[in-house]
Structure 1
Amino acid sequence: MSLELRAGPDTLVDGTEKAELSTTRLGSDVAIKQEEEGQGNASEGAERYLTGKELVLTFSGLLLALLVSSLDLTIVGTALPTIVSDFDALGQVTWVPTAYLLTTVAFTLPTGQLLSLYPTKYIYILSIVIFELGSLLCAVSTSMNFLIIGRAVAGIGNTAINVCVVWAIAQIARLETRPALFGCIGVIYALSSVLGPLVGGAFTARVTWRWCFYMNLPIGVVTLFISYFMPHKQAPATPNSPATMSTRRKLLEVDWIGFLISLGTVVAFLFPLQFGGNTYPWNSANVIVPLVISVVGLALFLWWQGRMGNRALLPWHVIRRPLVASSFVAFCNFYGLMVGIYYIPLWYQSQGRNAIQSGIDILPLLLSCVGASIVVGAFANATGRYWPVMVICPLFYSIGSGLLYTLNIGSPEGKLIGYQIIAGIGIGSTLQMPEISTQAELAHEEELIPQATGMCSFIEGLGGVVGLAIAGAVFLNQLTSNLHQYAPELPSSVAVSVQQSITYIFTLPASEQGAVVQAYVRTLDQVFLVGVPIGAISSLVSLTCVHNHNLKTRTPTPPPEKEGGRSDTAEL
């Protein structure tokens, strides 16, 4: 029997045909509705980004904060030999940058979680205050230990500033325009790398190294003033931060146990790298036990993160292959940058160059970082591609590191400059690519960017810590060995003094200086050699694990709305 429905007063329509007609109309209505919703989402996504003068003002304030924090990182490099000589503590030379990077690493993940709970602007201002406090402590320090504590406090502020800036860019700018902004950040980093050694050398030679830290105070005041006028937007909506959650409850939501586990793990891992083969033999309990503790701590940290679920410091859904791979590339980048900034000046100063001269001598490395960052930023902005840069450019760092290993006393100046340029291209070209890759990967899950950025910055900072620790261990171990090889007749008391203060070399008789300088140079060459596999591994990881998204076609999805229809866009 055929089902019939009356279509009009005089017309009967077959029920099947009527059902098909209704389905067609329904599908058409749904398509139209979805198209309208898509247009609405796109419009909403466009409206939540800043443009014009508001974008310029906000981004300029962010750049100023990055300038002062990154300048603080590089200004110490050329001043460090004088600082450790003033305190007679060359054996603690690695702890000055390591303390800074240790707290930078340790507080990165909590910062990422705090940004998913609190407005970005509040965390940002607090980070500037902490950074300025650390700078003040360093400026008035009366001992090496006092200085190291000040650097540790400044490192806390530094990491929060960096994570806040990266997250803020995701909130204020469209995905396809972010490479240009990250290119500007790369220029700031490179500019601070150029100015830092020069200013640090000038202060050290003409006034006092303490002004390397005093100068941060007025710049920080200006940065705070600008940040006060930054625009406000709604804080993120996540399972951990409903709109009704109190400030105190949000603070309790932070995974402080996970933070303590991660801190203990990093410290336990760093201890044997710092003292192994130098203060303690590699096969001693003082080295083996901390290494075992770090492995157990890592396993415990991962288990705890799985147990905490969405409340974890680093939720499992953030730990995915492309994001971890991008973070590892950042690890390799920071390894190369830190070793170059701190050990190339030492190479020059071991041959009699003063702080200002060594700051000038390192310009080829730093200027090539600037140029490479500008070029690849323009390339990514024009083509929407970042993956080829991450695959090809790290190999330049491997080549440059291998060439630096061949340097010796009397090497032509052209080689010194050329080798630094090659290594600098490898470092500078990939300096901002991990952040771009992370934001492209999470274009449809932007609410995860704060914690993904925290993970990236955590692993990046760990690269600096591990790099300096490895370089420090190689330097101290090989210097002892090379002094025995090149200056076997040097009295043991003099050898100890040479290891404690680089300026002591030039108080020795001329007949002894040459052998000691040769020992220093060969030791630093071996420090540079470690960079060869670092660049190659970075390239391989990018090739096999990082996704090749096109920034121009990968449109971000607006974050979910809060209760009451308010958008999930963080406050600046």
Structure 2
Amino acid sequence: MGKSQTEATPAGDISKPADGGGKQPASVRVVLFALMIAMLLAMLDNMIVGTAMPTIVGELGGLSHLSWVVTAYTLATAASTPIWGKLGDLYGRKGVFLTSIVIFLIGSALSGMAQDMGQLIGFRAVQGLGAGGLMVGVMAIIGDLIPPRERGKYQGMMAGVMAVAMIGGPLVGGTITDHLGWRWSFYINLPLGAIALVMVTAVLHLPKKRSQARIDYVGAALLTAGITSLVLITTWGGTEYDWLSGQIIGLGAVGVVALLAFVFVETKVREPVLPLHIFRNRNFSLVTVIGFLVGFVMFGSMTFLPLFQQTVQGASATNSGLLLLPMLLAMMAVSLVAGRVTTNTGKYKIFVVGGGALITAGLALLSLMDTGTTRFTSGLYMAVLGAGMGFLMQTTMLIAQNSVEMKDMGVGSSSATLFRTIGGSFGVAIFGAIFNNQVQDVMKERLGAAGAKATAGGGQMDPKKLEQLPAAIKDAYMHAVSGGTHQVFIWGALISIIGFAAAWFLKEVPLRGGPAKPADKAESDAAPVAAAMAEPV
């Protein structure tokens, strides 16, 4: 491959090297603020819309198509992620990123104006298409502007955005729906997006790119088909269709054939949409596996924590979001410390290993929860899980970006994001099946066939209606939910051991942008920031 991926210089993206070290210019902090707004847009949307969904269904109808409002968004996001990354590599990061913001805002405006469930599903797909470019664009631009060695300083900021989305989403969604109407759950994106557009346009200056390469349309189509099949399997399996039904098996076959054909095509084309050579780097392949598993256990477990809190611990929907604070605050604090230490020392393997251990321990502790567990105790368990997530969330992206050449920064970032997203989809689906089966078993054990029938087809009851049920049924269901979450967290802990084991095989390659020796400082890529800011668009 010529130059080693871990030693590549950023010459392809930055026209002039700059002196390393020192405080980042104020303009960089303004750009980072704009990027964080864009990241918040993508992460906050599903949280807000989820709270508004009962009201939306009440007005538009179409309860049977409810899941598609989320699936259309997720599907479009996952399928477009690698394509956005490659477009940024070929034609320049700024223009592609601004385009994704505009598409997201168009989708948001149209979703707010939807007159029926079919329109809403279609417009949510448009919104998801833009969201795929938002996340990749943020990560890739940060990868262009800030060397890996310096990037740890900003991990706390990124973790903070995630915490704001997870805590603020349900609160904002409920408030907007109650006082302004559900349509403003989508319209709220417009002023935030406009701010990000103006700030990025005015302050971010990256060299223009003009590529003569042709886009790999065949590869993009095959990858989209493969990803779509995988996401639909995880969405429909065990809910819409039985896991062994013809539909699910057929989707599996389509997915396998499409992905095998994709791998073949990518070895033949000049500019593959996902260059396979990036997986030859051991660190990149390992951190991709770790990212997949982090998405798997994180999204899977966080889906069932609020359910346990609302059903077993009696929390309201709003308070269950606030009860996640121990996990999210621990994640922010640990991410900030890990980032600072990584910046100062260049060491990061210990955080990936430690993160894997803490996530495993946190999930094992959460599996101990039962109907008598207090909120304080569950908060302590969640803090352990949050600390593990804080070590891993941004560090895995940093390692992925440090393991590819600068010309592949977009596809490297998009691949890491994609595998984490797919991992989350698999986690929610598989843990959902485990949870529902356990709920059925416990209800049948305690109440007989009538108990199993009460929770058939989903395994969940509305926590508000739970209070109106006879004491025996309520007690049985609380034990059923407790048993279901126990199984989810036990399996999560077992699966996370794989990620913990993979972390030990990482090789601690020096991060680009470290302190340069006097003899080779002229060739250092320590801080391309000033040059990026100085270049006209």
Matching residue of 1:394: 356
Worse overlay, 344-353 or 197-206: 197-206
Quick one: distance in 1 between partners of 2:420 and 2:465? 35
Q: Does the CA-based 8 Å contact 1:91-1:499 persist in structure 2?
A: no
2:369 is equivalent to residue 423 of structure 1: no
2:402 corresponds in structure 1 to 440
2-side partners of 1:353 and 1:142: how far apart? 34
Kindly indicate whether the alpha-carbon contact (under 8 Å) linking 1:254 and 1:311 is maintained by their aligned counterparts in 2: yes
Deviations 1:97-143 (A, max 9, x none): 54433322211111111012223221111111222233345445566
Aligned match of 1:355 in 302, 311, 317?
Answer: 317
Residue type at the aligned position of 2:324: I
Aligned-residue RMSD, C-alpha:
3.5
1:96 shift after superposition: 5.2
Segment drifting more, 507-516 vs 373-382: 507-516
What TM-score, normalized by structure 2, do the two folds share?
A: 0.83
The CA deviation at 1:163 is 1.3
Change over 3 Å in CA distance of 1:550–1:450 after alignment to 2: closer
Secondary structure of the structure 2 residue equivalent to 1:400: helix
- Label 1:76 to 1:356 Cα distance change in 2 as closer, same or farther (>3 A): same
Deviations 1:498-523 (CA, angstroms, capped at 9, x unpaired): 85752443443344222223323322
Matched, 1:458 2:418: yes
The Cα shift of 1:193 comes to 2.5
Give the whole-Å Cα distance in 2 for the aligned partners of 1:74 and 1:317.
Answer: 36
**Given that residues 156 and 333 in structure 2 are in contact (C-alpha distance below 8 angstroms), is that contact kept between their aligned partners in structure 1?**
no
Equivalent in 379, 384, 407 of residue 341 of structure 2: 379
* Structure 1 residues 217-253: Cα deviation after superposition (integer angstroms, max 9, x where no partner): 221121122122134332347xxx2xxx4xxxx6xx2
CA drift of 1:536 comes to 1.7
Within a 5 Å distance, the mapping from 1:53-68 to structure 2 comes to 53-68=26-41
Secondary structure of the 1:406 match is coil
Change (3 A) 1:178 1:159: same
Write the distance in 1 (CA, Å) between the matches of 2:319 and 2:58.
Answer: 18
Secondary structure in structure 2 of the residue aligned to 1:266: helix
- Indicate which of 230, 250, 257 corresponds to 1:296: 257
Q: How does 1:89-238 map to 2 (within 5 A)?
A: 97-140=70-113, 147-203=120-176, 210-236=183-209
CA contact (8 A) 2:92 2:207 kept: yes
Q: TM-score, normalised by structure 1?
A: 0.79
Aligned to 1:410: 372
CA distance in 2, matches of 1:109, 1:221: 25
AA partner of residue 44 (structure 2): L
Displacement of 1:208 in angstroms is 5.3
Which structure is higher in RCO with an 8 Å CA cutoff and minimum separation 6?
2
* Rounded Cα–Cα distance in structure 1 between residues aligned with 2:206 and 2:77: 27
The one-letter amino acid of 2:138's match is: V
Per-residue CA deviations over 1:328-360 (Å, capped at 9, x if unaligned) read 222222233322443211222224432211111
In structure 1, C-alpha distance between the alignment counterparts of 2:299 and 2:278, rounded to whole Å? 27
* Aligned partners of 1:132 and 1:220 also within 8 Å: yes
Give, as a single letter, the amino acid of the residue that structure 2 aligns with 1:518: H
Tell whether the 8 Å contact from 1:318 to 1:452 is kept in structure 2 after alignment: yes
Moved more, 397-406 or 47-56: 47-56
Report deviation, 1:497: 8.6
- CA 1:484 to 1:475, structure 2 compared with 1: closer, same or farther past 3 Å? same
Deviates more, 1:199-208 or 1:328-337: 199-208
1:44 and 1:558 in contact (8 A); partners too = no
Pairing of 1:256-271 with structure 2 (within 5 A): 256-271=217-232
User: 1:57 deviation in Å?
Assistant: 2.0
Flag the 1:86–1:369 CA change in 2: closer, same or farther, 3 A: farther
Partner in structure 2 of residue 335 of structure 1 = 296
Cα distance between partner residues in 2 of 1:423 and 1:94 = 28
Q: Does 1:325 align with 2:286?
A: yes
Q: CA deviation at 1:403?
A: 1.8
CA–CA distance in 1 between the matches of 2:198 and 2:172?
A: 24
SS in 1 for 2:277: coil
CA distance in 1, matches of 2:493, 2:407: 37
Shift of 1:545: 3.9
Q: 1:279 to 1:170 in 2, by over 3 A?
A: closer
State the alpha-carbon separation in 2 of the partners of residues 89 and 402 from structure 1. 39
Per-residue deviation, 1:324: 2.0
Partner of 1:542: 503
Which amino acid in structure 2 is aligned with residue 63 of structure 1?
M
Matches within 5 A, 1:307-322: 307-308=268-269, 310-320=270-280, 321-322=282-283
SS in structure 2 at match of 1:430: helix
Kindly indicate whether residue 18 of structure 2 is the aligned counterpart of residue 46 of structure 1.
yes
Per the TM alignment, residue 259 of structure 1 is displaced from its structure 2 partner at its CA by 1.8
Question: Paired residue for 2:435?
Answer: 475
Counterpart residue number, 2:469: 508
CA distance in 2 between counterparts of 1:472 and 1:209 reads 28
**Distance between the aligned counterparts of 2:470 and 2:114, measured in 1?**
33
Q: In structure 2, what residue type is equivalent to 1:484?
A: K
Deviations 1:459-504 (A, max 9, x none): 1221122222223333344444443333325378754598575244
Q: Closer, same or farther in 2 for the Cα pair 1:174/1:339, shift >3 Å?
A: same
The letter for the 1-side match of 2:364 is: G
Letter in 1 for 2:186: F
- Alignment partner, residue 9 of structure 1: none
- Following superposition, the deviation at residue 532 of structure 1 comes to 0.8
Q: How many pairs does the alignment contain?
A: 510
Runs (5+) with no aligned partner, structure 2: 1-13
Task: Give the SS at the match of 1:129.
Answer: helix
Distance of aligned partners of 1:210 and 1:359 in 2 relative to their CA distance in 1, 3 Å threshold: farther
**Which amino acid in 2 is paired with 1:322?**
N
- The equivalent residue for 1:15 is none
State the structure with more CA Rg: 1
Structure 2 distance, partners of 1:410, 1:209, is 37
Give yes or no for contact 1:338–1:467 (8 Å, CA) kept in 2.
yes
C-alpha spacing 1:279/1:116, structure 2 compared with 1 (3 Å)? closer
Match of 2:43 among 56, 70, 79: 70
1:236 and 1:194 mapped to 2: Cα distance?
A: 39
1:235 match: secondary structure: coil
